Chain A
Amino acid sequence: MNDIFRKYQNWLMLIVFIIATIIALIPLFGVLGYVLKNGLSALNIQFFINLPKAMGLPGGGMANAIVGTLIMVLIASLIGIPIGILAAIYLTEYDRHSWLSTVVRFATDVLTGIPSIIVGIVIYTAVVLKMGNFSALAGGLALAIIMIPLIIRSTEEMLKLVSHSIREAGYALGISKGKTILKIVLPTAAKGIITGAMLAVARVAGETAPLLFTALGNQYWARSLNEPIASLPVQIFQYATSPYKEWHQLAWAGSLVLILMVIILNLVARFAFRSRSI
C-alpha cells in the first residue's frame, strides 16, 4: 500500500515537472508566434531602405535604426571585447588563485546583475552631460560596459579549458609567457571566445534602456558619431507606445528583425562554433 502511494507520488511529481516545462515554453511560442504573424505582414523592402515617415503616415521604414544598432554594437564590441579578453587573460594566465583575481571574478559576476538602465544613467552623467549632446559614442560606450563582464566570464571559462600541457610545451620550447598566451593559448581557445563574444553581442543588440538617454534616437540619419542616433530597440519602444496604427506595425516588423538578429547570432554561436573539446 505504502509502495503504491510512493509510486503514484513519484509519477505525480514527474508529471508536475513536465507541466512546469510546458508552461515555461508557452510564452516563448506566444511571443515568437505573434512577432512572426504581425511582423511578417508589416515587413517589406521599404522597411529596410526608408527613413521613418511623419506621424501616422504609411510606408516608413527603419533603415536608420538598423544601421544605428549596427554602429553602436560595433563601437561596443571594439571597446568591450579587447578589454574583456585582456582581463580574462589576467584572471586565468597570470594570477588564477590570488585574492585579487577572486575579488575581480566576484565583481564581474555582480556586475552582470546590475540593471542595464543604471549604465545608461552613469554614461549620461559622465559622458552626455560633459560632451553636451547625446551620441552614438555614448550609446556604444554604455553597451560596452554591459558587454565587458559577459566577455570576461565567457573568455575565462574557455581559457580554463586549455590544458596546461599546451602551455608547458610552449615554455619548453623557450617561448616567453606572453608569446605563449598570445600565440598558443588564445588561438587554441579562439572558437570558444568567439562564441562568447557573439552571445554578448546578441545580448546588447537588444538592449533598450541604456540607449534611451545616451544615444537618444533620431528620425533621420546621423551624420557623425557625435550625434543622437536611432537604434532598433529604442525605435520599437517609441513606436509601440505611440497611438498610431502604422507605427505599431512598424514596431512589430522591427521586433521581427531584432529577434531574427538575436536568434541567428545565438544559433551561429552555438552550432557553427560549437566544439566539445578544445
Chain B
Amino acid sequence: MSKQYKLTASLGDQILRLLTLSMAIGVLVLMVWMGWQMFDTARPSIQRFGLGFITSRVWDPVKEQFGALPFIYGTLVTSFLALLLAAPIGLGVAIFLNEMAESRFRAVVGFLVEMLAAIPSVVYGLWGIFVLAPWLKTTVEPGLAKWLGFIPLFQGTPVGFGMLAGGLILAVMILPTIAAISREVMAAVPNMQREAALALGATKWEMIRVAVLPYAKSGIMGGIMLGLGRALGETMAVTMVIGNRPDILASLFAPAYSMAAVIANEFTEATYDLYLSALVEIGLILFGITLVLNFFARLLVWSVGRGPKGGSIV
C-alpha cells in the first residue's frame, strides 16, 4: 500500500511539473503564434505592395491603394513629442521620490504617480476631447503660434485636435512608466556609491549627478525606451484626440493619424480581404517595432538590476 501511495504521489509531481512547464513554454509559443497569425493575415498586402507599403502616402480603400506612411509619421511625431516631455519630468519624479522625499511622502506621491498609469486610456481620451483639445485650441496653440510661429512646427490654424494633443496625452500616459523604471534602477544603486560621493564633500545634487545617474544610466535609457514602446502602441487616447486624418503636415497643430488609431477606427469596416490585410500589416509593423524596442529596453534594465560587471561588493 505504502509503495503504491508513493507512486501516485510522484505521478502527481510529474503532472504538476509538466503542467507548469507547458504553461511556461506556452508564453513563448504565444508570442511566436501572435506574430505568425498576423503575418499570415497580412500576407496578401505584403505581397501586393511590398516595401512600397511603408513609403506610400496614399491610403484609399475605395481604390484599393494602401500606404502606411501617414500613420507611421503621425505615430512617430506624437511618440517623440511625448518622450521629449515625459522623459525629463519622469526622471525628475524618480529622483525626487528616490533621493529626496521622506519615506511617508514617498509612499503617497509614489502611489499617485502609479495611479496616473492606472487611469484607463479611454478616460484620458474623453478628457482629451472635452478638456485638453478645447484648451489647446483657445489658449495654448494661439500662444505658441504668436511666440514661436516662425518655426513651421507651430504654424497653421489652431484646431485642438492634432499631433500636439496626441503627444501631450501620450506624455501623461508614459510618464509613470519612465518614472517607475527609473526609480527601480536608481534603487538598485548601492548606497555605498552615494556615501562615497557624500564623504568626498559632494552636495546632494552632485551626489545624484556623479554617483547615482551614471550607475543607473543604462536602466534609465531602458525605461525611456519602454515609455516609447508604450507611446507607439497606445491606441484609444490618441485615436480620440489626434484628429484622424491621414495627412503628413509639419505643423503640430494639424490633425494626423496614428498606426494604432487607423486599426481601431477602420478594422471593423474593412469590407474586403485586402483592406483587412493592409490593416493587419500595419499591426504587424507595430508589433515588430515594439517587440524590438522592448527587447533592447529590457536588456538595458536587466543589466542594471544585476549590477555592474565585475560583481558588486556587498
Residues of chain A lying within 8 A (CB to CB) of residue B175: 24
Given A28-B116, A236-B123, check contact A21 B297 (CB 8 Å).
no
Residues of chain B lying within 8 A (CB to CB) of residue A233: 120, 122, 236
> In the complex, how many angstroms separate the beta carbon of B27 from the nearest chain A beta carbon?
5
Q: How far is the CA of A241 from the CA of B234 in the complex (A)?
A: 17
Given A9-B205, A240-B122, A259-B120, check contact A111 B13 (CB 8 Å).
no
Q: How far is the CA of A3 from the CA of B21 in the complex (A)?
A: 60
Q: Does B246 belong to the interface (CB within 8 Å)?
A: no
Given A16-B92, A117-B233, check contact A104 B118 (CB 8 Å).
no
Q: Does B267 belong to the interface (CB within 8 Å)?
A: yes
* Residue contact B122 to A114, C-beta cutoff 8 Å: no
Residues of chain B lying within 8 A (CB to CB) of residue A258: 120, 122-123
Q: Of the 9-residue stretches B137-145, B152-160, B280-288, which lies at the interface with chain A?
A: B280-288
Report A179-238 residues with CB < 8 Å from chain B CB.
179, 181-182, 202-203, 205-209, 212-213, 216, 233, 236-237
Q: Does B199 belong to the interface (CB within 8 Å)?
A: no
> In the complex, how many angstroms separate the beta carbon of A203 from the nearest chain B beta carbon?
7
The residue in chain B whose Cβ has the minimal distance to the Cβ of A112 is B294
Contact of A237 among B13, B33, B240, B297 (CB under 8 A): B240
Report B273-297 residues with CB < 8 Å from chain A CB.
279-280, 283, 286-287, 290-291, 293-295, 297
Residues of chain A lying within 8 A (CB to CB) of residue B250: none
Q: How far is the CA of A106 from the CA of B114 in the complex (A)?
A: 23
Q: Of the 9-residue stretches A42-50, A55-63, A248-256, which lies at the interface with chain B?
A: A248-256
Given A121-B280, A237-B236, check contact A209 B24 (CB 8 Å).
no
Report A146-173 residues with CB < 8 Å from chain B CB.
148-149, 152
Q: Does A27 belong to the interface (CB within 8 Å)?
A: yes
* Residue contact B267 to A255, C-beta cutoff 8 Å: no
Q: Does B313 belong to the interface (CB within 8 Å)?
A: no
Report B104-143 residues with CB < 8 Å from chain A CB.
109, 111-116, 118-127, 129-131
Q: Does A107 belong to the interface (CB within 8 Å)?
A: yes
Q: Does A91 belong to the interface (CB within 8 Å)?
A: yes
Number of interface residues of B (CB under 8 A): 89
The residue in chain A whose Cβ has the minimal distance to the Cβ of B19 is A86
The residue in chain B whose Cβ has the minimal distance to the Cβ of A239 is B126
Q: How far is the CA of A255 from the CA of B126 in the complex (A)?
A: 8
Contact of A236 among B30, B122, B298 (CB under 8 A): B122
The residue in chain B whose Cβ has the minimal distance to the Cβ of A145 is B30
What does the 1/0 interface line of A108-135 toward B look like (CB < 8 Å)? Answer: 1111011111111110111000000000
> In the complex, how many angstroms separate the beta carbon of B130 from the nearest chain A beta carbon?
7
* Residue contact B112 to A25, C-beta cutoff 8 Å: yes
Q: List 27 A-B contacts (CB under 8 A).
A: A17-B100, A24-B92, A24-B175, A25-B113, A31-B127, A34-B131, A89-B20, A90-B21, A91-B24, A106-B298, A107-B27, A110-B298, A113-B293, A114-B294, A115-B260, A117-B263, A122-B34, A125-B38, A125-B41, A149-B27, A178-B9, A237-B122, A237-B236, A240-B240, A258-B120, A266-B114, A266-B118
Q: 4 extra interchain contacts, Cβ-Cβ under 8 A, other than A90-B20, A216-B268?
A: A19-B92, A24-B113, A109-B298, A259-B119
What residues make up the interface of A, taking CB atoms closer than 8 Å to B? 6-7, 9-10, 13-14, 16-21, 23-25, 27-28, 30-32, 34-35, 38, 83-84, 86-87, 89-91, 93-95, 100-101, 103-104, 106-111, 113-122, 124-126, 145, 148-149, 152, 176-179, 181-182, 202-203, 205-209, 212-213, 216, 233, 236-237, 240-241, 248, 251-252, 255, 258-259, 262-263, 266, 270
